[in-house]
Structure 1
Amino acid sequence: MTNQYLYKIIIILFILLLALGCNVPQKAMKIPNLEVPESYQHAKDTTNSGQMDWRAYYEDELLIALIDTALKNNQELTILAQEIEISRAEVRSRKGEYLPFAEIRAGLGLEKEGRYTRFGAVDEQLEIREGQHFPDPLSDVMVGLFSTWEIDIWKKLHRAKRAAASRYLASTEGRNFMVSQLIAEISESYFELMVLDKLLEILEQNVGIQSEAVRVVRQQKSAARLSQLAVNRFEAQLLNTKNLQYDVKQQIVEAENRLKFLSGKFEAPIIRKSLDSSDIGIDDIRSGIPAQLLVNRPDVRQAELELAAANLDVQVARANFLPSLGIKAGVGFRTFAPAFLLQPESILYNIAGDIIAPLVNRNAIKAAYTSASARQVQAAVHYEQTILRAYTDVLNQVSKVDNYTNSYTTKSREVDLLVESVSIANNLFNAARADYAEVLLTQREALEAKMDLLEIQLQQMHTKVHLYRSLGGGWN
C-alpha cells in the first residue's frame, strides 16, 4: 500500500505541475507581408543582371585586381569573419545542451570524528571484518562516471539550437552583404578616379587655350587695340582654371587613399584605365522581377533568417512555462580504504528523475516571453522594411538609367555647340568683330559644360554600381 500511495502522490503532483505549466500566456506572432509587385514599370523580363558574377559584370581587369586585394585584406571583413565564428560556436553550444552531459569524477578525502561524538562512538563499535575496526582517521576514496540529461520533451532545447543556426546563417548573409557593399564602394571610387583624371586633363587643355588667349590680348594691348582691363580679365580666368586643378588633384589624392584604406594597405599604386577607353554600358542592365530580390539580396535573406530565429525564440520562451524533466545517473566505486576500491562491495550506482515547473518566479519568465514576442514583431517589421527598401532601390536606379542616358545625350550636344562657339568667338575676336567679354563667357560656359558632362558620366557609372548592388549582385 505504501508504494501505491507513493505512486498516486507522484501522479497527482505531475498533473498539478502540468496544469500549472499549461497556464501559458499566448501572443499572436506577426506574419510579415511578402507581397511585391509582379514587375518593375510593367517590364516582365525575368533576366536579372544581379545574378551575374561581379568579375563578368565589371569587365575591367584593373578594377577586378583591386577588388580581389580588398577582399583579402579588408579589416571589416576580417572582423565579420570572427563574428561568424562566434555564431558557429553558439550553434555547437546549443546542440550540446540537449545531449546528455557525462563526466568522470575522482575524489580523495580524510575525516577524523571526535571519540565522544555520535558518529565517532558508532565508528568505534563497527567492524569491517571480524576484529578489524574502521580506520582512524577515516579516508574517503571515490571514482566514477556520472551523467545528467534534461529530456527535451517540449523541443525547447532543439528550437534554441535551430534559432542559433538561423543566426549563424544570418551572420554569413551579413558578410555577403558587406562584400557587396565593399565591392560597390571600391567600384565607385575607382570610377570617380577615372572621371577626375579626365577632368584634370580637360582643365590642363583649357589652361593651354586660355594661356594662348592671354598672349593674344597682351599683343593687342601692345598695339593699343585693347586696354589693361581685357588683359586682367583674361589672366584672372586663367588663374581661376589653374586653381581648379589644385582642387581636382586633392580629390584624386583622397580617392586614392580611400581605395588604399579599403584594400587594407598603406602604400599601393592605384592603377586605373582612362575614361576614354572605358565602356560604361548601363543600357544592357536587366532588372528582372521584384520576387527575385527575396533570393538575390543578402540583406533580405539575412532579415528572413533573423525573423526565423525570433520566431523560434518565442517558442523557446513559451516552453519555459512548462515542466522540465531531468534524469541523473551515476556508477563508480567508493570506499574508505584504497585497498577496497575495486572490490564488488565498493560499487555504487544511482539513477533519479525529477520534474520541475516554475512557481514563484513566473514573472521573470513572463517578462522574457514578452521580450521575445516584442523582438519577433521587430524582426517581422524589419523584414518587411528590408524588402520595401530593396524594391524602391531598384526602382530608383532603373529610373536613373533612363534619365542619365537622356541627360548625357543632351549635355553632349550642348558641349559640342559650346566648343564650336569658342572657336567662332576667338575668330571673331581676332577679326575685331566680337567683344572680349563674349570670348571669356563662351570659354567659361564651355568649360562648365564639359565638367557637367563628366559629372553625368560619373552618375552613370555610379548607377551601374548601385543598380547591380540593388539587384543583389556583388557577393557571388
Structure 2
Amino acid sequence: MIKTIKFMAKHGKLLLVLLINVGLFYSCGPTKDLKQENKNLPENYSRQSTDTINSGTLKWRDFFHDPNLVKLIDTALVNNQELNIMLQQIDVAKNEVKARKGEYLPFLGYGASAEVEKVGEYTRNGAVEKNLDIKDGEEFPEPLADYSAGIFASWELDIWKKLRNSKKAAVLEYLSSIEGKNFMVTRLIAEISDSYYELLALDNQLAFIEQNLELQSNALKMIRIQKQAARATELAVRRFEAEVLKNQSHKFEVQQEIIEMENKINFLIGRQPQHIDRNSEDFIQTQMDTIYAGIPSQLLRNRPDIRQAEYELQAAKLNIKVARANFYPSLGLKAGIGLQAFNPKYLTSTPESLMYKAVGEIVGPLINRNAIKAQYNTANAKQVQAVYEFEKSILKGYIEVVNLLSKMENLKKSYELKENQVKALTESIDLSTQLFQSARIEYIEVLFTQREALQSRIELVETKKDQLMARVNVYQALGGGWNN
C-alpha cells in the first residue's frame, strides 16, 4: 500500500500531463466548411431609376393620411392579441440571454446539511470509530451524526469561448425576435389598411347599387305606363322587375360583406364588434401619392424579415462554434469553505471544525463521441438551412417589389380607361331612356345599358381599391411600416 502511494506521488504529475495530452489529441473534432450566403442584387429595379430616395423609410404615420385609419392602426398596435403574443416571445428570448450570460460567470451558493449514519463495527470505518477516542475517556458517538454549513463556489473556465459564443447566439436570437415583431407589425398595418380600403369600396358599391335601383325603379314605372298605352309588352315589365329584384338581393349581400369586414377590422384591433368610423364619400377621388422604390440593396437593411433571417444565420454560425467546442476538454474550478462536526455544539469550535476544499478538474470526451458529433453535424445542417432561408427572404423581397411596382403602373392605366368607360356608360343611360321613349330602341337595350353602367362603376371602385392596396403593399415590401 505504501509503495503504491509513493508511486502515485512520484509519477502523478507525469500521469496528469499524459491524460491532458491524450485528451487534447482526441478532442480534435471534424471540420466542415461554412456555406457562404449570396447577397447579390441588381443595381436597380426593372425600368426604375437608381435614385436612393425610398418610401420604405417613411414612418407609417407619415405614409397614411386618413385620420380614421391612423386611429385604427394605433389601437391595433396596443390591443392585437397576436402582436402581444410576439412581445412575450421577445421577453422569453431576452431572458435566455441573461441565462446564457450567467453560465460563464462564477456560481456562488450556500448550503447546510444534517446527517446521521451507523456503520458496522467490522468495517474500516466502524473499527476506527470503535477504537479511536476523540478526547480522553470519550468515543465516537453511535450512530454518528454529521452537521455542516458553508459557502461553495464553482466556475467553468471558458477557454474555448463555448459559453460566450452561446451567449452571443442567444443575443442574435433575441435581435431576430425583435425583427420578427417588426415584420409582424408591417403585416398587421398592411392587413388593417387593406381591410379598411375594402370596407370603403363596399360602401361605394352599396351606394352605386342604391343609385342604380332608383334608376331601374323609374324605368320600371315607365315600362308599366307604356304597357298600359300598348307601347310595351308584359315581357319588358317582367324583365325590368327581375333586374330590380336581382339588384335588391345584391344589396343585401353587400351589406353582409360590410358587416363581416367591419368585424374583421374589429378583430385585428382587438375589440368587440362595433361600427368602424370612416368617410367613404371621397373614396373614388382619393389621390395616389408617388412611391419611391430606391434601389434593391436597401432591402437588406429596410425589410425586417430579411434582417431576421440574417440574425438567424449569424446565430447558426456561432452555434457551430459552440458544438465544435464540445470536442475540447473543459476546465473547471470548485471551492468551498465552512464548518463541519458530528455535534452541533462543536460547529463554533474553530479552527477544529473548519473545513475547506479547492478542486481543479479537466474533463473531455475520449471515446463514444457520437452524441457530440451528431450535435456538430446538426449545427452545420442548420447553418446551411439558415443560408437558404436568408437567400430566400432576399429573393422573395426583391420579387415582391418588382411585381408590385409593375402592378401599380398597370392599375394606373387600367383606372384611367375604366374612368372613361364609366363616364361613357353613365351618359348612355339617359340617352337610352330617351331613345326608348321615342320608340327608337328596344327595352332590352335600356336594360343592358343600366346593367353595364352599374358593373363599370363597381369595377372602377374595385380598381381604386386595388390601387390603394397595391400602394400599401409596395410600402410594406420596401420595408416600411414597423417604424412609427
TM-score normalised per structure 2? 0.95
Residues 1:78 and 2:84 aligned together: yes
Match of 1:314 in 2: 320
Cα distance change, pair 400–305 in 1 and its aligned pair in 2 (3 A): same
One-letter amino acid of the counterpart of residue 348, structure 1: M
Match of 2:252 in 1: 246
The 3-state SS of whatever aligns with 2:153 is: strand
The 3-state SS of whatever aligns with 1:38 is: coil
- The whole-number CA distance in structure 2 between the counterparts of 1:169 and 1:291 is 21
Counterpart selection for 1:271 from 251, 274, 277? 277
The 3-state SS of whatever aligns with 2:282 is: helix
Residue pairs, 1:202-213, within 5 angstroms: 202-213=208-219
Contact 2:121 2:127 in 1 (8 A): yes
The 3-state SS of whatever aligns with 2:145 is: strand
Match of 1:262 in 2: 268
Residue 277 of structure 1: how far off its partner (Å): 5.5
1:344-364 Cα offsets, whole Å, 9 max, x none, are 111111111121121233111
1:301-336 Cα offsets, whole Å, 9 max, x none, are 100001111111111111111111111111111111
Contact 1:195 1:275 in 2 (8 A): no
Q: Which sits farther off after the overlay, 312-321 or 37-46?
A: 37-46
Residues 1:182 and 2:181 aligned together: no
- The whole-number CA distance in structure 1 between the counterparts of 2:297 and 2:413 is 29
Counterpart selection for 2:331 from 317, 320, 325? 325
Residue 114 of structure 1: how far off its partner (Å): 4.5
Q: Which sits farther off after the overlay, 2-11 or 70-79?
A: 2-11
Residues 1:423 and 2:430 aligned together: yes
Match of 1:36 in 2: 41
One-letter amino acid of the counterpart of residue 20, structure 1: Y
Q: Which sits farther off after the overlay, 371-380 or 327-336?
A: 327-336
The 3-state SS of whatever aligns with 1:226 is: coil
One-letter amino acid of the counterpart of residue 85, structure 1: D
One-letter amino acid of the counterpart of residue 185, structure 2: V
- The whole-number CA distance in structure 2 between the counterparts of 1:388 and 1:117 is 76
Residue pairs, 1:45-56, within 5 angstroms: 45-56=51-62
Residues 1:376 and 2:383 aligned together: yes
The 3-state SS of whatever aligns with 1:268 is: coil
One-letter amino acid of the counterpart of residue 382, structure 2: R
Contact 2:284 2:464 in 1 (8 A): no
Residue 212 of structure 1: how far off its partner (Å): 0.2
The 3-state SS of whatever aligns with 1:133 is: coil
Counterpart selection for 1:412 from 412, 419, 426? 419
Counterpart selection for 1:287 from 293, 309, 321? 293
One-letter amino acid of the counterpart of residue 75, structure 2: T
Residues 1:141 and 2:162 aligned together: no
- The whole-number CA distance in structure 1 between the counterparts of 2:291 and 2:187 is 19
Residue 275 of structure 1: how far off its partner (Å): 4.5
Counterpart selection for 1:458 from 453, 459, 465? 465
Counterpart selection for 1:344 from 348, 351, 355? 351
Q: Which sits farther off after the overlay, 393-402 or 3-12?
A: 3-12
Counterpart selection for 1:443 from 442, 450, 458? 450
CA RMSD of aligned residues (A): 1.6
Cα distance change, pair 228–279 in 1 and its aligned pair in 2 (3 A): closer
Contact 2:201 2:283 in 1 (8 A): no
The 3-state SS of whatever aligns with 1:276 is: coil
Q: Which sits farther off after the overlay, 109-118 or 57-66?
A: 109-118
Counterpart selection for 1:111 from 111, 117, 127? 117
The 3-state SS of whatever aligns with 2:328 is: coil
1:229-250 Cα offsets, whole Å, 9 max, x none, are 1111111111122121111111
Match of 2:396 in 1: 389
Match of 2:409 in 1: 402
- The whole-number CA distance in structure 2 between the counterparts of 1:249 and 1:116 is 96
Residue 456 of structure 1: how far off its partner (Å): 0.4
Counterpart selection for 2:440 from 417, 433, 438? 433
- The whole-number CA distance in structure 2 between the counterparts of 1:227 and 1:57 is 57
- The whole-number CA distance in structure 2 between the counterparts of 1:123 and 1:180 is 76
Q: Which sits farther off after the overlay, 217-226 or 91-100?
A: 91-100
The 3-state SS of whatever aligns with 2:362 is: strand
Contact 2:23 2:329 in 1 (8 A): yes
- The whole-number CA distance in structure 2 between the counterparts of 1:278 and 1:264 is 29
Contact 1:167 1:305 in 2 (8 A): yes
Cα distance change, pair 74–406 in 1 and its aligned pair in 2 (3 A): same
Contact 1:282 1:401 in 2 (8 A): no
Residue 97 of structure 1: how far off its partner (Å): 1.0
Residue 266 of structure 1: how far off its partner (Å): 1.5
Q: Which runs of 5+ in 1 are unaligned?
A: none
The 3-state SS of whatever aligns with 1:345 is: coil
Q: Which sits farther off after the overlay, 334-343 or 52-61?
A: 334-343
Contact 1:429 1:439 in 2 (8 A): yes
One-letter amino acid of the counterpart of residue 454, structure 1: V
One-letter amino acid of the counterpart of residue 40, structure 1: Y
Residue 283 of structure 1: how far off its partner (Å): 4.3
Residue 127 of structure 1: how far off its partner (Å): 2.0
Contact 2:284 2:461 in 1 (8 A): no
- The whole-number CA distance in structure 2 between the counterparts of 1:47 and 1:255 is 35
Residue 116 of structure 1: how far off its partner (Å): 5.6
Residue 257 of structure 1: how far off its partner (Å): 0.9
Residues 1:93 and 2:89 aligned together: no
Aligned residues: 475
Residue pairs, 1:113-128, within 5 angstroms: 113-115=119-121, 118-128=124-134
Residue pairs, 1:58-69, within 5 angstroms: 58-69=64-75
Deviation beyond 6 Å, 4+ runs, structure 1: none
TM-score normalised per structure 1? 0.97
Residue 152 of structure 1: how far off its partner (Å): 0.8
One-letter amino acid of the counterpart of residue 205, structure 1: Q
Residue pairs, 1:217-232, within 5 angstroms: 217-232=223-238
Contact 1:397 1:466 in 2 (8 A): yes
1:256-279 Cα offsets, whole Å, 9 max, x none, are 110111111113321111141576
Residue 282 of structure 1: how far off its partner (Å): 3.2
One-letter amino acid of the counterpart of residue 93, structure 2: S
Match of 1:26 in 2: 31
Cα distance change, pair 4–278 in 1 and its aligned pair in 2 (3 A): farther
- The whole-number CA distance in structure 2 between the counterparts of 1:352 and 1:281 is 76
Cα distance change, pair 359–282 in 1 and its aligned pair in 2 (3 A): farther
- The whole-number CA distance in structure 2 between the counterparts of 1:180 and 1:105 is 52
Between the aligned residues of both structures, percent identity stands at 48
